[in-house]
Amino acid sequence: MITQEEVAYIAKLARIELKQEELEKYRIDLNKILGYIEILKTVDTTGVEPLAQVTGLENIFRSDEAEEQGIADDILQNISETSGRFIRVKKVL
């Protein structure tokens, strides 16, 4: 069972601010998810190889070519706060 302290810690890592009542709401939600994982864990997987991908694809590469005329300026246009060509965010340390 996941505790309110753990929910608060995860929220901190994700930089999300949660109110007291939300902590309890997400504690219940997360416990439901973890409960479902517990059900999944009961499936017998003997002889099944672990899998990191479900697509079955392998070795999908791109050749090393740079696109000089990119969309940098368009991206900057859509950023809410800039300073010159810099993106401006609230101070982080």
Partner 1 sequence: MNYEPVIGLEIHVQLKTRSKMFCASPNNPDETEPNRNICEVCTAQPGSMPVINKEAVHMAILVGLALGCEIPEYSKFDRKNYFYPDLPKGYQISQFDQPICGAGIQVVEYEGKKRPIRITRAHLEEDAGKLIHEGSTTLVDLNRAGVPLLETVTEPDFRTPAEAKIFLQNLRNIVRYLGVSDADMEKGHMRCDANISLRPAGSQDLPPYKIEVKNLNSFKSVEAALNYEIKRQSEMQESGEKLTSQTRGWDDSKGITVEQRTKEQAHDYRYFPEPDLPIMHFIRGDVEKIRAELPELPAQKEERFISEFSLQDRDAGVLVNDKNLAAYFEEVVSELEEWFKEERLEADIAKLAKMAYNWISGDLQALLKIEGIDPQNSRITAENLAELIKMIHQGQVSTTAAKRILEVMFETGGDPSHVAADEGLSQVSDEVAITAVVDKVIAKNANVVADYKGGKKQALGFLVGKIMAEMKGKANPQVASRLLEEKLH
Contacts with partner 1, residue ranges (CB under 8 A): 13-15, 52-53, 55, 57-68, 70-72, 75-76, 83-93
Residue 41's alpha-carbon distances to 24, 48, 92, in angstroms, are: 25, 13, 40
In the complex with partner 1, the residue whose CB is nearer, 44 or 64, is 64
Nearest residue (CB) to partner 1, 42 versus 83: 83
**Tokens representing 33?**
């998810």
CB of 49 to partner 1, least distance (A): 11
Q: Using DSSP, state whether 6 is helix, strand or coil.
A: helix
- Report residue 22 as tokens: 């939300």
Closest approach of Cβ 21 to partner 1, in Å? 23
